[in-house]
Amino acid sequence: GENVEQHPSTLSVQEGDSAVIKCTYSDSASNYFPWYKQELGKRPQLIIDIRSNVGEKKDQRIAVTLNKTAKHFSLHITETQPEDSAVYFCGRDTGNQFYFGTGTSLTVIP
Amino acid sequence: DAGITQSPRYKITETGRQVTLMCHQTWSHSYMFWYRQDLGHGLRLIYYSAAADITDKGEVPDGYVVSRSKTENFPLTLESATRSQTSVYFCASSGAGANYGYTFGSGTRLTVV
């Protein structure tokens, strides 16, 4: 359907560990998959995105992987730091409309 | 990010009143969007606009009206506010279309009493 399933809803990791957030979708017309980070009381900001013709994309400690066959994509954060603590939203886009997941609250414990 | 601004930042209104939230962007982005953010629901699309004078419904349009007479402005009006419309409202814009990243405004926290 239209929704994007995002898991987990909350995630706590020790500083320096990795964090993985997964999103699944069912609409095969989806061709763009961004990830947004929202710190408390602030606006969501785009941190990384991937298009349907790419399987993986990295930007320093952040990476996104896409499995089109299984219709899921994941955000990977390595060497987590306290400033990574925030709510992360995945999204999917068909070119006409855009849907967000319900968010994952990530807490990095110093 | 200063290129997209929302006003007011905070608003308290009474049930049944009409209220308009403003959104202005300086990039001449063609696409603009209105989302509401509620705990447990994430971000839900209310309306979007692909260009001036072109608007379309999103996931939760009931009770809202939008207009886009100029590319840079995309106001959202609650015709008769209800308590269920208490939320944080985010405006966003995108230059190339829906399948490129958005830039969000700072949000408007609306409380309907």
Rounded distance, CA A63 to CA A47, Å? 10
**CB proximity list for A6: less than 8 A, separation 6 or greater:** A21, A22, A23, A89, A90, A101, A102, A103, A104, B42
Q: What percent of chain B has pLDDT over 70?
A: 95
pLDDT at A3 > cutoff 90: no
pLDDT at A1 > cutoff 50: no
pLDDT for residue B101: 81
B89: nearest CA partner in chain A:
A43
pLDDT for residue A28: 85
pLDDT at A13 > cutoff 80: yes
| Nearest beta carbon to residue B99 from set A6, A93, A99 | A93
- State whether B101 and A95 contact (CB < 8 Å): no
Describe the strand order of the beta sheet including B4-7 as a list of residue ranges.
B4-7, B19-25, B76-78, B64-66
- State whether B99 and A95 contact (CB < 8 Å): yes
- DSSP code, position B85: G
- Which conformational region is residue B110 in: left (phi greater than 0), alpha (psi within -120 to 50 degrees), or beta? beta
Identify whether the C-beta of residue B97 lies closer than 8 Å to the C-beta of residue A98: no
pLDDT at B1 > cutoff 80: no
Rounded mean pLDDT of A36-58? 93
- State whether B98 and A96 contact (CB < 8 Å): yes
pLDDT in tens, A69-103: 999 999 999 999 999 999 999 999 877 677 889 99
- State whether A42 and B40 contact (CB < 8 Å): no
pLDDT for residue A2: 61
The residues in B 70-109 lying below 8 A from A, measured between CB atoms, are 90, 97-107
B109 contacts in chain A (CB < 8 Å):
none
Task: Give the bridge partners for B44, in sequence order.
Answer: B36
pLDDT in tens, B32-82: 999 999 987 789 999 999 899 999 999 899 999 999 999 999 999 999 999
pLDDT in tens, B84-113: 999 999 999 987 655 678 899 999 999 999
pLDDT for residue B99: 63
